[in-house]
């Protein structure tokens, strides 16, 4: 079984959290927890974390450091999940169940290349 990185883009849940009732926000977060729990029970979950909005961008051969990331909301990576799947098709099926789509988010699926 291979590992795949699911990058969550857009669907800025933190901003939406402020616009929703506490009950609606809790229901949305419960969907995330149930999705990850189902992956865990199926032996497909390898890890996940949200990311903060703050960051630095290092460029110019490491000589330039700027605040960031500054890009359109739909392009900002807000978190990731590592899942286990037999192939890309299975990883895509897993990604299709992600709750981020409730808020027009995007999931980028990338195979993790084994080193060594």
In a domain, residue 15? The reply is yes
Average pLDDT, integer, range 106-116:
92
pLDDT at 81 over 90: yes
Q: Where are the alpha helices (DSSP H) in 1-116?
A: 13-19, 22-41, 88-96
Q: What is the overall mean pLDDT for the chain?
A: 86
26-49 tens-digit pLDDT: 888 899 999 999 999 999 999 999
pTM of the model: 0.82
In a domain, residue 116? The reply is no
How many residues are given for the chain?
116
Identify the sign of the CA torsion 102, 71, 14, 77. Answer: positive
CATH of the domain at 55: 3.30.70.1060
In a domain, residue 49? The reply is yes
Which range of residues forms the domain containing residue 97? 2-111
Q: In 3D, which of 54, 81, 50 has the Cα closest to residue 68?
A: 54
Domain count, the chain: 1
């Amino acid at each position: 079984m291979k590992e795949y990185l699911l990058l969550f883009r857009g669907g800025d849940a933190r901003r939406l959290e402020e616009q929703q009732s506490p009950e609606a926000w809790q229901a949305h977060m419960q969907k995330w927890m149930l999705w990850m729990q189902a992956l865990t029970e199926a032996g497909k979950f390898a890890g996940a974390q949200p990311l903060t909005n703050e960051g630095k961008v290092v460029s110019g051969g490491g000589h330039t450091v700027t605040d960031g990331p500054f890009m359109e909301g739909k392009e900002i990576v807000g978190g990731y999940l590592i899942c286990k799947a037999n192939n890309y098709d299975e990883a895509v099926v897993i990604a299709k169940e992600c709750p981020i789509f409730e808020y027009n988010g995007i999931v980028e699926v990338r195979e993790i290349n084994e080193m060594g």
